[in-house]
Structure formats: C-alpha cells, structure tokens
Chains A and B, each alone.
Chain A
Amino acid sequence: MKKRGTVEGLEPMHAVEENNLPLKPRTMGSGLRVNLRGRSVQLRGLRRPPTGILRWLAILGPGLIATSAGNDAGGIATYSQAGAKFGYDLIWVMVILTVSFAVVQEMCARLGAATGRGLLDLIRERFGIAWALFAVSVVLIANGGVTVSEFVGIGAAMELMGVSKYIAIPLGALLIWYLVIFGTYGKVEKILLLMTLVFFAYPVAAFMARPDWGEVARGAFVPTFRADPAYIFIIVGLLGTTITPYIQIFQQSSLVEKGVARRHYGPERIDAYVGAIFSNLMSVSMIIATAATLYVVGQRDISSAADAARALEPVVGSAAKILFGIGLLGATLLAGAVLPLATAYAVSEAIGAPKGVNLDFRRGKVFFSLFTALIVVGATLALIPNVPVMQLLVGVQVLNGILLPIILVFILLLINDKRLTGDLKNTRRNNVLAVSTLILITTAVVVMLGTQLLELFGVQLSQ
C-alpha cells in the first residue's frame, strides 16, 4: 500500500478509504474543559486572552507609550533646566504631578473606552462647533509649538554628532513625512522606541552621580516656594511638559483604536497609572542626574544640548554626547511623527473629515494637508538661525501649561456627563483629585503670568 500523502486525490476515493496511516503527531494544548448541556467537553479553539505576566504586558500599551512620549525634547530640556537651576528643590512638584498626571490620564482612557470617540470629537458633539473650533485651535497651537520643539530637538541631536541642523532638520522632516505617508511607519516606530531606551541611562546616572539623598528626600517632600519668576516659570513648564494636552488626546485615541470596550475597561486603568508613574520616575531621575552633576558644580543654566548631555557623564564618560544625541534623536523623531499624526487625526475627526494614513490623498485631503502643514511649519520654524534652543524648548512647555487648564475643563465636563459615560462616570474621589489638579495648574499659570507682567512693568521680584 502506498502512502496516503502521495495517493490522495490520484486514486478514486474508494481505493484510499481502507488505508489507516499513522497520524502526524501533533502537540495540542489541553484547552479548556467546559460543562455544556450537562456534559463535559474539551475546547481547544478558544482564543483566551493571555494570563499572568503576559496579560499585564498586553495591557501596558497605549498608556506607557503615550506617557513616555512626553519625555521628548521639550521634556528633557525642562527637566534638565529644573535640575540645573534649582537642584533638588523642584522634585516635590513632580511628586504631586505624578498623582495629577495619573488621574488625568486615567480619565482620558476611561472617556475613550466609554464612548469609543476621541476628545475633540466629543467636544464637538457636546458643546457645538464654536467650542470645538476653540479646542481645535488650542490643540493646534499647543501641538504646533511642541512640533517645532521636536524639530529643534532633531537639529540639536544631530549637531551633537557633528551634522549641521540646516541639513538634519529638513532631512528629518522629509523622513518622517515619507514614513508616515508611505506606511512603513509601524516598523520604524519600534526602532525609534528602541533608540529612546538610551534614556534609561538617566536613572543609572542619577545613582552614579552620588547625589545627597537627604537633599533629594527634602526636595521631594518639603515644598519650597520662591518669589522668583524663573522658579514659577519652570514650575509651569514642568506642569506643561508632564500633563501635555497632546498626551491626553493621544491616550484617548489610542485606547479607542486598541478597541477597548466599556465593559472591559477595568484592567486598562492600570496601564494609565503605570504609564504615569514610570514616565515621572524617568523625569525625576533626569532632574536628580542634572542636579547632581551640574547644579552642584555651579553650572546653573543649560543653554545647549551639549550642556544637558553632561548629566550622563557619570555613566558613560566621554561618550555622553553621542549617547545623549542618539536618545534625543529617537525621542524627537518618534514624537515628531506621532504628534502631527495625532493632531491631524483628532482635528479631522472633530470636523467630520475622513482620517487615517491608509486613505488616498483624494479622500483624505484634510487629514494629509494638516499632517503635511504641521511638519512643514514645524521644521521651517525650527530652522530659524540663532534660536536659543533651551529657552525655546522650555517656553513651548510653558505655553502648553497655559493651555492645559482649558483642555482639562473639557475633559472634566465630558467625563461627568452621565449620558456619555454611564457607569464609567467620574467618582467623587476622582473629581476631587482632578479639580485640585485644575486649581493647582490654573493658580500656577496665573501666578506666572502675574509675575511676568510685573517684570514687564519693571517691578523686580528676584534679587
């Protein structure tokens, strides 16, 4: 008798039916034994969600990426500046901000799961076109500013490696635009994320610089206030770079796209919390590392990326510049792509235009035009000669801080609308925390604007 594999289909069926060939051995999972209609059956075809550690890795997605994306060029600049200027004094702000950040991110994630819609989309539906266009302008200004700062970051990173920014920025812009439009972006995203891993050098640097841990603890838990406009300016910058409007929009949209339904929302909140804590731990370690290397030796102002890179010297020595450059390049390219993308996506959604990278230009005119315009404008502004890089980066974060309360008010109104969120409405505790955050940020912004105005009229607050 011939083997079945060669005979099958070549002989009439009645000729092969008598064979009993050994079955190809196959390892099968045990599956799940379930009692159905009074008998027990073994089901192996179930696509169970992963359990154990894999389950948590699957959940930790959007939140972790969204919040890590916050540690971009502007973030690094602001945290470095905070550490260099005021040493460990500002760590308490980050401790408070971690709670606020986690609460805000979780609310956005919940809003996304409960409604299946993006933030600007909901604003349009609930508050009408005028408010929606107002929110769109806020988002465009805030995100436009951050986009400029990302391209500035690309320029700065390449200059650390000896490439002129006048070559690096246009090339970076072209690269991002090409990758997103022609769709290999998904793969590249992973490479960029890998490049940002360089910043794990910061926590290491924070330890190796042997900071005075007593001072660190004091800075973290004893709030200090100074009637110094620069101090308040940096606080608003820290607020703006940590709780950025764009990260909220990103968090909500990515949850919508991940397809988390309202009934499966529960475990997802962990993602938002872990993301916020992780991202702020990185930020704090940046502050400590800069404080322990630059502040203590008396360098109180960071004016270039090269200065900021020196915080990594305790770990990598003379390679600090190059490594910092690689990390900065990864972070800024990533944010430089994600940011215009998320902005174009959210804005198209709000005005009811088709959105998505897999549309052709004819159908996605608004989406592609917005995306292209953000990149072109961002890169062009970043090319202006003699821009004080660090001041610009911090300034954009301050602008974000100023616009943040507006977005927060919208989020709070939406998440408390029972018609929209149903059972996922904000609890009282959530509201207390979120409103406190709002008050904190608004106060900081008002105080900052006040001191800046006073300065303008010649009143000196600082020594």
Chain B
Amino acid sequence: MVMFSQLRRFNLIDGHGRRAKLMDLAIALLDGDYPPVTRLFFLDQKNKKRSLQWSQVKKLDLKSRSITVRDLESAPSESTDSMAKEVLLGDDVLDALVLDLQNRRATRANDLWLEQDGNEFVLRAADTSFGAFLRRLTRGRYGHVARSALYDWKYIEFLRGDPDAVRNGEGYHLRVARLPPGEIARLTDMLPYLHASELITLLPDDKAVDTLEVLSPQRQLQVFEELEEDQAIAILILMAPDIAADLLGRLPTKLMRQYLNKLPETQSERLIELLGYPEDAVGGIMTNDVIFARASLTVAEALETLREPLKKPDFVFIIYVVDNLKARRVRGSISLRNLITADAELRLEEVMDPYLSTLNPLSSASEAAYRVIDSHVAALPVVNDDGRLLGIVTVDAAIAQVAPANWRSQAPRVFS
C-alpha cells in the first residue's frame, strides 16, 4: 500500500491542527509473519523526540500524504537510548542485510512495503530493486514500484549482525531452518562473520551442527568462537567426532581444554583419542563413532542391541563385526541392508563379509583417502596392529582430504 521511503516524509497532523515531523516507526518483530507497526516517533515543534502508539493513528491519507493522530501534545518524550531499544524500520531494517530465502541469497532491503491488515499496519515486503534507490534519492518522484521486485516479508530473515541479539530473545521467522544444511551453509558464506554467527546461533542445535559441519574450516572456526559456551558444548556433543576434533584442534589451547573438560566423559574421550593422531595421518581424518556388534550374536539379537546405537551416529550404512566388545578385533562387516534382510536365526559371522580392506591409523591420510574413494564403498575401517577396530574413514572425509581447498570453499574470495 505504501513504501516506507515515502511514508517517512508524510506530515503528522493531530486533531487540533498541530504538526510534527515523523522520524521513524517501531515494529514488533516477534509477532507473526508480518510484523505490525507498534509506535511512531516524531520530532515536535521544539525538536524534541516523542512517541505515540500506532493505535492513536486515526487516518493514513495517501493522497494528501498525511498521518492524522488524536493528540500530539499528550505524547511522551523519548531519548536516543529509549529509541535504540526498539526495532526501528528506518534505523535498523532499511538498508540492513537480509536473507531472501526465496532466491537463496543475501541482499539489502532497499525499501520496505507496508500494508494495512485489518486493524494493524504491517511490514509486508522488502524491495530489493535498484528502482528503490532512485525512489529514495528523488524523494519518490521516480522509481516506480515493481511488484516483481517485492519479496514477501514472510520469506525474509532479518539479521542484525550481532550474535547477542538472538540471546536477548528478539524475534526471527526461523524459516531459514527449513532449508537443507548445505543451503544454509551457502547462505552464511555470503554473510559477514558476525551475521553468520547470528544465523547459526538462532538455528536449533541439530541444524546448527549439520550446517557447521559443511562450512569451510576457517568460517567454521570464526562462527564457533562467537558462540556461547552452552551452545558450543551442545554442538560439540552432536557433531561428528572427526569434525569436532578438527575444530577443537584449531581453537586456542585454553579454550580447547575448557571444552574438553566440560564435555561428557565418553564424548571427550573420543575426541582426545582423535586429537592424538597427527592431522596428516589416517587417524587425523577418521571418525571413531562407529557401529559394531559381536560375531556370535544372531541377526535378530544384533538388530535388537543395535537399535539404540543406530539412532545416534551419522554413519550407519556398515556394521562391523568384532570378536568381542573388549578387544574389539574385526572379523568382517555387514551392510545395514544385508543385516535387515538376513535370516533372523543366523549368526552374524555366518552372514558377514569376512573379506575386508583395512587402514592403519598411522599411514598417510591422502593415500588412504584415495583408497577409500577408489574402493567405492561408503567407508573403510581403521584397524591397529592388534586388529582392534579404531574407527572408519568415510567417503565424505576422504573427499574432503583430497579435494583442492578452493573447490571446497564456496565463499567468494578476491583479496587473498
């Protein structure tokens, strides 16, 4: 109905004929898809800042470009500080970096489209066109509003560039969390690191983990360091151990020790074990979150005991068969599909594949990576000299190891 750049120049008139200069509008971001305007700020005759509830507005006249309110004199006065607490359309939202989820891109809100919705006056869309520049520079004389350049506010995520904003409980749509992690990661690559951290902070933990896992190592570290300790630990618990170990290994030693001490015992033991291997060795790229079962179990028993473990780790396609849980010596492997379809009475050692290519934890990481990729299986097990199963190198980890760094990173790099 009206663009904010035009509304901003409307005259403010009250029932007694007094006039004032409109400064800005406050909106309530918490309320639904289209945030309603809650208050208007204006400068009175003496150039003092004052505010009125939007409900005091009697008439919004587009023809005469005026906003009629009941009484300007009764309005309470405001200070710069009290205004800073509100989310202001002009100061905060206009020109801000926003995520346009329809186009999967980060862009800027060049203008804002406001609309009457029942009793409320709501922020309906963002204009990202260049026409909006023209409109604002020529005070609305030129710069026709093109419907096609208006993006529904429902699919816009407004970011403030401050990870703390999320912790203060300010409103977000969170529709961005519906995207697959890879797409969220690509979006964060287009953002400055503080905006990216804000985005990760507001995602649910499991989504945040999936997104962090696919970010470039440098971005991952930047974002992670901005997180609060609670969320950081929650994320480390959910993260695949190999990625978590790489991340911890790049943190400052003090911070790394602090996190390792605060993580649950099993988790922290896992990470310490992985951190013990040099990064260019198989141990440096393996994950030790692996599913295994005793060879003497029947298929039915195995399915029963594996139900819980299968819920957690990322990698579940192959189950390793070991002699006993203590020595954990590998006897063979069985794919999840073969396990489910196998005769329930048979024992695992009868249905497993006993021929197994294995990796040594101390051999070269890149050679091992090529072996994993060439073998065309989802993962190869890592076994020490005693035959003990230590972990697996997944095909994902192998590709990450051999792919050139510039192919992996999606961030636009120009200066370095």
Interface residues of A (CB under 8 A from B): 8-14, 16-17, 20-21, 23-24, 26, 28-29, 31-32, 34-37, 41-47, 61-62, 115-117, 121, 124-125, 128-130, 132-133, 250, 253-254, 256-259, 261, 263, 341-342, 345, 351-359
Contacts and interface: CB of A to CB of B under 8 A. Distances in A.
A354 B192 contact: no
Contact of A28 (B108, B193, B278, B329): B278
B192 A115 contact: yes
Interface string B236-274: 000000000110011001001100110001001000101
Contact of A116 (B192, B330, B331, B387): B192
A256 B194 CA distance: 11
A3 to B, nearest CB: 13
B268 A61 contact: no
A132 B413 CA distance: 23
Which of B97, B190, B284 has most chain A Cβ within 10 Å? B97
21 contacts: A8-B356, A9-B357, A14-B331, A28-B278, A31-B276, A34-B257, A35-B257, A36-B261, A41-B276, A44-B275, A45-B274, A45-B275, A47-B249, A116-B161, A124-B108, A254-B416, A256-B192, A261-B193, A354-B190, A356-B413, A358-B412
B229 to A, nearest CB: 14
A356 B108 contact: no
A116 B193 contact: yes
A257 B416 contact: yes
A259 B249 contact: no
A34 B128 CA distance: 52
A353 B129 CA distance: 10
Given A32-B253, A125-B95, A351 B108 contact: yes
B137 A133 contact: yes
B332 A117 contact: no
A13 B356 contact: yes
A27 to B, nearest CB: 10
B313 interface: no
Given A42-B276, A44-B276, A357-B412, 12 more contacts: A10-B355, A14-B354, A17-B329, A23-B362, A24-B363, A29-B278, A44-B275, A45-B274, A45-B278, A125-B95, A263-B225, A353-B107
A359 B413 CA distance: 11
Contacts of A257: 413-416
Nearest to B132: A129
Contact of A45 (B253, B283, B412): B283
Interface of B: 94-97, 105, 107-108, 110, 128, 130, 133, 136-137, 161, 190, 192-195, 218-219, 222, 225-226, 245-246, 249-250, 253, 256-257, 260-261, 265, 268, 272, 274-279, 281, 283-284, 329-332, 354-358, 360, 362-363, 385, 387, 411-416
B278 A44 contact: yes
A356 B222 CA distance: 20
A129 B137 contact: yes
Contact of A115 (B105, B194, B415): B194
Contact of A133 (B133, B274, B276): B133
Contacts of B261: 36-37
Contacts of A256: 192
Nearest to B107: A352
Contacts of A16: 387
Nearest to A263: B225
7 residue pairs, one from A and one from B, having the closest CB atoms: A356-B412, A352-B108, A116-B192, A12-B354, A254-B415, A9-B357, A116-B193
Contacts, number: 169
B412 A61 contact: no
Nearest to A255: B415
Contacts of B130: 351
A62 B415 CA distance: 8
Contact of B275 (A29, A46, A342): A46
A263 B272 CA distance: 26
Contacts of A31: 276, 278
Contacts of B96: 125
B272 A43 contact: yes
Nearest to A259: B218
Contact of A24 (B137, B357, B360): B360
B415 A342 contact: yes
A117 B95 CA distance: 14
Nearest to A41: B272
Contacts of A11: 355
Contacts of B268: 36-37
A261 B224 CA distance: 11
A419 B330 CA distance: 58
B414 A345 contact: yes
A267 to B, nearest CB: 13
Contacts of A121: 192
Nearest to A45: B275
B286 to A, nearest CB: 11
Contacts of A28: 278, 281, 362
Contact of B222 (A44, A259, A351, A358): A259
Given A45-B284, A351-B133, A352-B107, A341 B357 contact: no
A60 to B, nearest CB: 13
B411 to A, nearest CB: 8
A304 to B, nearest CB: 33
A121 B192 CA distance: 10
A341 B416 CA distance: 12
Contacts of B360: 23-24
Nearest to B349: A14
A418 to B, nearest CB: 11
Nearest to A357: B414
A250 B130 CA distance: 25
A47 B415 contact: no
Contacts of A20: 385
A28 B256 CA distance: 22
Contact of B362 (A8, A26, A351): A26
A32 B278 CA distance: 11
A115 to B, nearest CB: 7
Contact of A128 (B95, B250, B329, B385): B95
Contact of A62 (B225, B413, B416): B416
A239 B249 CA distance: 45
Nearest to B195: A116
A46 B360 CA distance: 20
